[in-house]
Amino acid sequence: MPIPILQPKQDTCDSGCNGIPDGFIETAITDREAKLDFMRQKTTQMGYRFVGRHSAIKVCSWTKESIRGKNVCYKNKFYGIESNQCVQMTPVMFFCNFNCLHCWRNFDYMLPQKEQWDEPKHMLDGCIDAQKEILQGFRGNPNANKMKLEKAMVPKHVAISLSGEPTLYPHLPEFIDEIISRKMTAFLVSNGTRPDMIENLLVHQPTNLYISFYGTNPEMYRKTAVPMEKNFWENVNSSLRMLGRFDCNTVIRLTLSKGLNFTDPKGYANIIENSGSKFIEVKAFMAVGGSRRVMQYTDMPLHAEIQEFAAQIESSSSYRIISEKPDSRVVLLAREGKNFIGIE
């Protein structure tokens, strides 16, 4: 049977595109199932659409901007994806083993237990249907580009990055296979704490595999990512060392925050150099959504500071700066001798 899509009572958010209402975490109930129900209700009111038991989508602001003909995501500039045809989703909305201070979606994450996991095919169908249903609202928008809107109704890209840690979903390899089998591209963003799952993906490769990396030593990592499990440092580094074995585009993303991990560029360069990753994204933390509960606007590095940090990594490694997007405060570096796999 098709997976049901939970409809929102309202598709707005009072505190911004990805805002978290005041008291969201503080009023959450300690009983696990009651807490999950509470979180589903709150996030549905914020514009998230739930698909089945544990998956969700939210139309990205860049998708909306693209349909209006205004701007596109930096992934369009760097990797060629069409922002208006991108489905931003997660197979594990409330499940993560980190509670990163800089996370946009600070939902008081928990670890999965004995979950009933939805099948990949039905999950993908439900996510696409939910995205198309939301975008129907643009048909009455005079600022919408009609051609871009029509193309948006035929998604070409799935960003597995909305919330949570997707490698906690046990059927992730089959989900990626399902995406690729439909001639769509798949970008997977992981924190790298499940090296066994990363290794499984060697025979189920996405289009782009991201590993987010948050510090050059365990103490910095613990302060920034607030991990729930032991051995996080060893597991992340195991995943990083596997990146050179992948044929797909591999990316290490540094999300940098002042006062937490915006330091030691040579340390980052040394670790990244041993990974074999094709690309590095050096990106500023952005004070939006749930991160504003614990972070300040002054914690965001300026783009000029990100440029300088990237330049220091470049001078200490075999990676070279090849692109940037100032409005997203991100710089892209590529490893010398590595070929980029373009997106059709």
Indicate which CATH number applies to the domain containing 94: 3.20.20.70
The count of domains in the chain is 1
Distant-in-sequence, close-in-space partners of 329: CB < 8 Å, separation ≥ 6 = 283, 284, 286, 300, 301, 302, 303, 306
Residue 74 lies in a domain: yes
Residue 126 lies in a domain: yes
The reported pLDDT for the residue numbered 255 is: 93
Residue 299 lies in a domain: no
Q: Both ends of the chain: CA-CA distance in Å?
A: 32
Kind of pairing between the strands at 279-284 and 249-256: parallel
The reported pLDDT for the residue numbered 5 is: 40
The reported pLDDT for the residue numbered 16 is: 34
Q: What is the DSSP letter of 117?
A: P
At 224, is the secondary structure helix, strand, or coil?
A: helix
The reported pLDDT for the residue numbered 287 is: 57
The reported pLDDT for the residue numbered 113 is: 84
The dihedral formed by the CA atoms of 103, 104, 106 and 109, expressed in degrees to the nearest 10: -70
Q: What is the DSSP letter of 198?
A: H
CA distance 305 to 178: 40
The reported pLDDT for the residue numbered 243 is: 98
Radius of gyration over every alpha carbon of the chain, rounded to an integer in angstroms = 19
Q: Look up residue 112 and give its two tokens.
A: 């999965």
Q: What is the DSSP letter of 176?
A: H
Residue 68 lies in a domain: yes
CB 208 within 8 A of CB 236: no
Complete edge-to-edge strand list for the sheet that includes strand 157-160: 5-6, 49-51, 55-57, 86-90, 157-160, 185-190, 208-213, 249-256, 279-284, 330-335, 319-325
Residue with tokens 């095919």: 121
- List the chain residues with pLDDT less than 70: 1-30, 105-107, 287-295, 338-344
Residue 258 lies in a domain: no
The dihedral formed by the CA atoms of 301, 259, 236 and 255, expressed in degrees to the nearest 10: -10
The reported pLDDT for the residue numbered 1 is: 39
CB 269 within 8 A of CB 317: yes
Residue 80 Rama label (left phi>0; alpha psi -120 to 50; beta)? left
Q: Where are the alpha helices (DSSP H) in the chain?
A: 32-45, 61-67, 74-79, 120-135, 146-152, 172-181, 195-200, 218-225, 232-242, 265-273, 303-315
The reported pLDDT for the residue numbered 341 is: 61
The dihedral formed by the CA atoms of 297, 314, 211 and 17, expressed in degrees to the nearest 10: 30
Residue 104 lies in a domain: yes
The reported pLDDT for the residue numbered 293 is: 64
Residue 300 lies in a domain: no
Residue 257 lies in a domain: no
Domain containing 120 equals 5-243
The reported pLDDT for the residue numbered 90 is: 96
